[in-house]
Amino acid sequence: MCSSDLRRLLQSAPADRGTEDPCDRSADRVTAQQLRPRLTAVLDALPGRDRELLLLVAWAGLSYAEAAQALGLTTGAVRSRLHRIRTRARAALGGADPTALIEEDDRG
């Protein structure tokens, strides 16, 4: 996925995660909008294979097993790579977690 495609996806993504409280949604939307340029830069800086894996799981919602199958990897390799990718991405974002995803043991 090239950088311009990535930017288009991020710009078209709703910042709203569907929380119940309108105040929470507004705060989430503002935070997401503020993080978008930084997130785009962080994703652009990732090697293509790392960006692809992260987006398959975080964006497309594939399980670890599904991502592993799609990329020809083992589930353990996906878990390990995602941990390293997320750690680097969070550090580059100053500790922010834009996906707010919890790595669960039952994902794969």
Query: Domains (ranges, CATH) in the chain?
Result: 3-11+21-96 (1.10.10.10)
Output the pLDDT for position 105.
42
Long-range contacts of 52-60 (CB under 8 A, 24+ apart): 52/1, 53/78, 53/81, 53/82, 53/85, 54/82, 54/85, 54/86, 54/89, 55/1, 57/82, 57/101, 57/107, 58/99, 58/101, 59/9
Long-range contacts of 63-70 (CB under 8 A, 24+ apart): 63/107, 63/108, 64/107, 64/108, 65/108, 68/108
Contact 23, 38 (CB under 8 A): no
Question: In the chain, which residues have pLDDT < 70?
Answer: 1-32, 96-108
